[in-house]
Amino acid sequence: MSKKEIDASNHDQWLRDEPSALAKLLSPLAGYGVTISSMFRPVETERYPFEKPRVMPRFHGRHQLNRYDDGLEKCIGCELCAWACPADAIYVEAAPNTPEAQYSPGERYGRVYQINYLRCILCGFCIEACPTRALTMTHEIDELVGDGREGLIYEKQNLLVPLPEGALAAPHPMAQGCEDSDYYRGEVSGPTQNQVDWVRANRPDDPSLATVKVVNQKEAVR
Ligand code: SF4
Ligand code: SF4
């Protein structure tokens, strides 16, 4: 056996030297030093649920389904979010948009949309997968607790954002002169007269008619 191998098997060589008498005397003070210095730092205790916790700007809280400025829904029912989810927490059922009921630009919309918060780990993979930015995450975490299973399976109506100011409730046709690609490029800035006329003819009692702010066609496509 070589000298090097003999040294490697001698574990005592890794022990530190015996501390000096002075070091032994001061070591309790060093321990208290950490405690005492911590006593003068600001208190970091979170008082949740009595006070909302401070979260970072990119914090992942409850999801939301977004709308365009004219009120159409951004979700096109493509299911990419559901396929990206590692916890199998999202369920989407798409349905075709028709001239009688158009909920989103393009061919299809998300008719059924569920997120199961008993499974969700708030990883954010789903929002990365969404091609239209229909799905994003808020800073809300308060309501993601409950004493029953049903309350933690969020449906589309729980996730869909309220109508933007001046927008028109869906369903209604796309803004006059616009294609679905104009929506995806963010070029629609509000409802046009053709949309208001359509809702007035088909749902004269729709409450959003009272607050709608029509933009002319030039403004609708920025
Ligand atoms: S945040 Fe993650 S776990 Fe939750 S629904 Fe999205 S992909 Fe699934
Ligand atoms: S939220 Fe986005 S990814 Fe999910 S179905 Fe709707 S458009 Fe597709």
CATH number of the domain to which 69 belongs: 3.30.70.3270
* 203 within 8 A of 170, measured Cβ to Cβ: no
Position 116 in a domain:
yes
For residue 22, being part of any structural domain is answered with: no
Q: Is 130 annotated as a binding residue?
A: yes
pLDDT at 1: 46
Ligand 2 interacting residues, C-beta cut-off 6 A:
75-81, 92, 110, 129-130, 132, 134-135
At residue 128, does pLDDT exceed 80?
yes
CA of 83 to the centre of ligand 2 (A): 10
> Tens digits of per-residue pLDDT, 151-176?
999 999 999 999 999 999 999 999 99
Alpha helices, DSSP H, located in the chain: 3-8, 21-39, 80-84, 125-129, 156-159, 180-184, 193-202, 217-220
Distance CA 189, CA 216 (A): 10
Q: Which helix (H) or strand (E) holds 116?
A: strand 108-116
Over pLDDT 90: what percentage of the chain? 66
Domain for residue 91, yes or no?
Answer: yes
Q: Would you call 135 helix, strand, or coil by DSSP?
A: strand
> Looking at ligand 2, which atom is closest to the CA of residue 135?
1
Note whether residue 53 is domain-resident.
no
**Could you give the number of structural domains in the chain?**
1
Q: Is residue 120 part of a domain?
A: yes
Q: What is the mean pLDDT of residues 181-199?
A: 95
Taking residues 65-93, report their average pLDDT.
98
Q: Is residue 154 part of a domain?
A: yes
Show the domain range for 72. Answer: 63-210
